[in-house]
Amino acid sequence: MSIQSRERKILLFLTIPIILTVTIFLIYNSRFMNKIKALVKKMPDQVKRLLIPVILIIAGFIVMRHLLVPSDFGKYGHYRASAVDEIASLEIKYIEHTVCEDCHDDIVQIKHMSYHRNVMCEVCHGPAAAHTQDPDGNQLPAPRERGYCPLCHEYLPSRPTGFPQIVTESHNPRRACISCHDAHDPKPPATPKECEACHAEIARTKALSHHIYLSCTRCHETPEDHKILPRDYHSEKLSNREFCGECHAENALAPKEIPRIDMATHGERYVCWQCHYPHLPEID
Amino acid sequence: MEKLAEHLWPILEQVTGYIYPNEVELYWRILIVIYPYVTGLVAGAFILASLVKVFNVKELQPTYRLSMLTSLAFLIVAPMPLLAHLGHPERAFEIFLTPNRSSAMAMFGFVYIWYLMAVLLLEIWFDYRKDLIIWAKSGKGVKNWIQRIITLFSTDTSERALKFDKKAVKTITIIGIPSAFLLHGYVGFIFGSVKANPWWSSVLMPIVFLFSAMVSGIALVLLIYIVVTLMRGKELIMASLDKLANYLFYTMIVAFSLEALDFIHRIYESEESIEILSQLIEGKLFVSLIVIQFLLGMLLPLLAIASVKLFRLPAELRRHIYFVSALLVQVGIFTTRWNVVIGGQLFSKSFRGLTAYKMTLGGLDGLLTSLAFLILPFVILYILVKILPPWKEARES
Amino acid sequence: MDIINIGRREFFERLVFSLLSLSFPGLLGTEEKDKEKNSIIEKGYDPKAHSWGMGIKIDRCIGCGRCANACKKENDVPPLPFYFRTWVERYIVFEGGEVVVDSPNGGVDGFKRRVLEKRMLRSFFVPKLCNQCANPPCVQVCPTGATFKTDDGVVLVDSEYCIGCEYCIQACPYGSRFLHPETRTAEKCTFCYHRIAKGMVPACVEVCPTQARVFGDRKGRASPLVRFMRMNKIRVLKPYLNTEPRVFYAGLDMEVK
């Protein structure tokens, strides 16, 4: 990185005449020189001696600053501009999902219509950038053991309802997931017969209550297709108090042991499930 | 890689509650505790010496030069723990080249250089110049040559020159007092301006730092004066000691009031972080905060010196009380720095958990290195005292 | 910095011109700036045309940890439980108000079922990362200018320039920064700058199986982030600190600090 000759010429043409003019002006302007001389004379000897290291230090600092500050510092802001380029040219390990389709279009086509359409290939197969550079040399792993699918599909109470979860201890224990579910089209091998195949938590809770004698569909109107495409065909929830009154109202035609309330006065501003959890209404 | 993080596994087991995953490792450790302690001594010793000069406190004149040299000795050591702590000390000069103007830490370089060059070195130079010229002439040894070089080969001892020297010292002292405030106050600002950390973030932080610095500085001068005088076999001037202890007492009252104010304010406002901070103080920080910093480092010395002022105690007893109090103060102020630096990192910024700090014995960030950094100023002070003797006797010769 | 390779002639050239520059400050040293190749701009990426941000849907996150896992692989983050550019937290709120938070190895290996001490009221996962604040306290305190905010709103760290003072780590209210044990410089999430400069999305966004993470431009109409911000009520972490984060949460719970 040397100083360019064009800039050097500009500097020479600018600075040298100016310095010459100033020096000549100073020498011939004796009044100014006399003032300087008087100041220097008045300055005590020790201050004159002190000024030397001080000037040397300041000059040294300025020189070092010009030598050591990286040349591209301050170009975009208070930082070294080439840092942005250095960071932007780091190695990429995960390629975009669209790249897989170039070679594996058959699999991608199947996956595209399945429940895993939004799960990118690299989630299960790992970073694929090296594989695109050298497909045979860098083969990607395919998780086959039972431990991998539960990372997403294990039942955890913290997971949002509606996300397909299984309790791994009771769901076909020890069998590999892929023996029934094709990872690229993971619909269950058989349509679930009971609601509790997917809604196990609710079913277990309801099993502790009197409402065990109510089937899920008694309160939730559910189209048959919900078992096949649950997110596209939703089941209904109740919307009015009168439905609960069919069993729990004073004059309801229902078995005597069902607790009755006066529908007109018992919490008439609310729907029943704002206070009573319908799957286990016995608890507070 | 595994070796580098080996020390963190036991800490992971000591975590209570929830901390952010990156917070397992405590980043500012013992070296960063030493730095504010050392600069505090620098600022404290200097401010004491300056007040002596500016307000012409006759009883403390004998301690003036010693305080200045102490300040210089500690100042030379001050940046060393910082350099040792950096991940890349070889790049440390970048702070001078491209300082980020919004960063208090960037200002360190310039404040330090200003204080070292324009204040401390200059003041010592002007104060010692005449004596240095006389000493340099008195012999041909290495010491004399060093003294001659320090005078920058000046030989002017005329009345005019001496008058200028005296005026220069006075001027620099007056500039020096706010500079010393800046040197240590900005350290308090470094902590006090971190809004992410409620233990640190406080308007009072620079002021508290400064007053505890003055407390430790005065106590240090007291200690050094006693030790050095006894080592030289000379008589201790009780008037000086009484005055020093007096200043120590009143400064401690102010420092204590400020810390108490911060504490009361914190409890009264009872902000979001009060829960985890209470856990911290009642648990991990109990011994260092309540027992050492407050009881041993503040209350006990205050009571001791107060009893000296209330009851007319004999000089022998007073000396011992001052000495022990000054020692306790040093321990207390060091622990104050510990509580601020380490305490602020022991709780998580999620306010839900606490981590732990295990100080290593060896290594650049360990106990032995820290002790070395604390002993080094005394070694430097010894050398300085040999080249620039601060005793009255040396001046008269 | 290659100061060692300057020859004597160049040294004196620089010396003379440095001293001359006392009279013409700024004239020297600028000629190299203009001659510098604007490399990423040359490759077609103009930082000034973008303003990146991320959206996170708490109700979609299943806590699988694929994001944290992919981030470690993509960015060579040390595979130890002390260094994370992004991590996932699990919050369990019990009846009665007590809250338990955990993040086992940052969620990199997913979460296991936990024995619940009391009855659970609600529970959810919260992915966390550097918030790429528009008013970043970390940039404010960096003494050398090693960490900075680019024109497209990403806060980066220059590992060649960082001196490892760790002040930025102290200043970050979100715990997103750490000191890399080998380079001994500060490190944090970069929004996978090396990917977004090429039109890709960050690795964590790429692998999220439920699209809980949304990445895009904060400006413009056809941006997934803008739609996210239109359709959801948005919250940020620690808004009272006025760091102006650029990571927006939909469905953020009050217990998340």
Q: Where are the domains of chain A?
A: 5-80, 97-190, 200-274
Domain assignment of residue C174, yes or no: yes
Interface contact A139, partner C, CB < 8 A: no
Contact A72, A82 (CB under 8 A): yes
ipTM above 0.90, yes or no: yes
Give chain C positions within 8 Å (CB) of B190.
Answer: 167
C-alpha of C153 from chain center: 10
Q: How many domains does chain C have?
A: 2
Domain assignment of residue B7, yes or no: no
Which residues span the domain enclosing B162? 16-396
Contact B329, B252 (CB under 8 A): yes
> Which of the listed residues C187, C221, C247 is the one where a domain comes to its end?
C187
Domain assignment of residue C160, yes or no: yes
Which of helix, strand or coil describes residue A72? Answer: coil
Compute the nearest-CA separation of A20 from chain C (Å).
14
Domain assignment of residue C172, yes or no: yes
Backbone angles phi, psi at B156, to 5 degrees: -80, 110
Domain assignment of residue B353, yes or no: yes
Domain assignment of residue B6, yes or no: no
N-to-C CA span, chain A = 79
Domain assignment of residue B365, yes or no: yes
Contact A138, A131 (CB under 8 A): yes
Taking the C-alpha atoms of residue C28 and residue C8, their distance in angstroms, rounded to an integer, is: 19
Domain assignment of residue B8, yes or no: no
**Which of B152, B215, B130, B89 is closest to B396 using CA atoms?**
B130
Q: Which of C137, C161, C181 sits opposite B195 (nearest CB)?
A: C137
pLDDT confidence of C8, banded at 50, 70, 90?
low
Contact B89, B128 (CB under 8 A): no
Which residues span the domain enclosing C15? 3-36
Taking the C-alpha atoms of residue A198 and residue A187, their distance in angstroms, rounded to an integer, is: 13
Q: What is the DSSP letter of C27?
A: T
User: What is the rounded average pLDDT for all residues in chain C?
Assistant: 88
Query: For B299-329, how does the pLDDT look when each residue is reduced to its tens digit (9 = 90+)?
Result: 999 999 999 999 988 999 999 999 999 999 9
Give chain B positions within 8 Å (CB) of A57.
Answer: 117
* Residue A65 confidence (pLDDT): 87
Domain assignment of residue B252, yes or no: yes
**Is C170 in Cβ contact with B196 (below 8 Å)?**
yes
Give chain A positions within 8 Å (CB) of B117.
Answer: 54, 57
* Residue C9 confidence (pLDDT): 59
Give chain B positions within 8 Å (CB) of C179.
Answer: 25, 27, 87
User: In Å, what is the CA distance from B64 to each residue of B34, B44, B272, C246?
Assistant: 25, 13, 47, 56
Domain assignment of residue B302, yes or no: yes
Q: Taking residues A115-134, what's their average pLDDT?
A: 93
* CA-based nearest residue in chain B for residue C83: B22
Taking the C-alpha atoms of residue A110 and residue A133, their distance in angstroms, rounded to an integer, is: 25
**Which of B194, B351, B200 is closest to B278 using CA atoms?**
B351
Compute the nearest-CA separation of B389 from chain A (Å).
21
Domain assignment of residue C211, yes or no: no
* Residue B2 confidence (pLDDT): 79
Q: What is the full per-residue pLDDT of chain B (397 aa) written as tens digits?
A: 778 888 899 999 999 999 999 999 999 999 999 999 999 999 999 998 998 888 888 888 888 999 999 999 999 999 999 999 999 999 999 999 999 999 999 988 899 989 988 899 999 999 999 899 888 888 888 888 898 888 888 888 888 888 998 999 999 999 999 999 999 999 999 999 999 999 999 999 999 999 999 999 999 999 999 999 999 898 899 999 999 999 999 999 999 999 999 999 999 999 999 999 999 999 999 999 999 999 999 999 999 999 999 998 899 999 999 999 999 999 999 999 999 999 999 999 999 999 999 998 888 888 999 999 999 999 999 999 999 999 887 776 5
* Residue appearing with tokens 């780091």: A90
* Residue appearing with tokens 């045309």: C49
Domain assignment of residue C215, yes or no: no
Own/partner long-range contacts of A75-81 (Cβ < 8 Å, ≥24 apart): A75/C33, A75/C36, A76/C150, A76/C151, A77/C148, A77/C149, A78/B98, A78/B100, A78/C145, A78/C148, A79/C145, A79/C146, A79/C147, A79/C148, A79/C158, A79/C161, A80/C145, A80/C158, A80/C160, A80/C161, A81/C36
User: In Å, what is the CA distance from C94 to each residue of A241, C18, C122?
Assistant: 29, 68, 7
For residue B230, give the amino acid letter: L
Which of helix, strand or coil describes residue C187? Answer: strand
What are the residues whose beta carbons fall under 8 Å from the beta carbon of A105, sequence distance 6 or more?
A: none
pLDDT confidence of C14, banded at 50, 70, 90?
low
Contact B21, C103 (CB under 8 A): yes
pTM score, two decimals? 0.88
Beta-carbon count within 10 A of B223 CB: 19
Backbone angles phi, psi at B98, to 5 degrees: -130, 60
Contact B223, B324 (CB under 8 A): no
Domain assignment of residue C76, yes or no: no
> Which of the listed residues C152, C187, C222 is the one where a domain comes to its end?
C187
Q: Put residue B32 in one of left, alpha, beta given phi > 0 → left and psi -120 to 50 → alpha.
A: alpha
Q: How many domains does chain B have?
A: 1
Interface contact B87, partner C, CB < 8 A: yes
Chain A window 13-42: which residues touch C at a Cβ cutoff of 8 Å?
Answer: 14-15, 18
Q: Report the residue of C23, C48, C113, C120 to disrupt the A interface, i.e. the one with the largest count of A CBs within 10 Å.
A: C113
Taking the C-alpha atoms of residue C82 and residue B21, their distance in angstroms, rounded to an integer, is: 6
Task: State how beta strands C247-250 and C52-57 pair.
Answer: parallel
Taking the C-alpha atoms of residue B249 and residue B350, their distance in angstroms, rounded to an integer, is: 40
The secondary structure element, H or E, covering residue C214 is: strand C213-217
Any idea what the CATH number is for the domain that residue B318 is in?
Answer: 1.20.1630.10
What are the residues whose beta carbons fall under 8 Å from the beta carbon of C45, sequence distance 6 or more?
A: A88, C197, C198
Beta-carbon count within 10 A of A223 CB: 13
What are the residues whose beta carbons fall under 8 Å from the beta carbon of A143, sequence distance 6 or more?
A: A124, A149
The secondary structure element, H or E, covering residue A65 is: helix A45-68
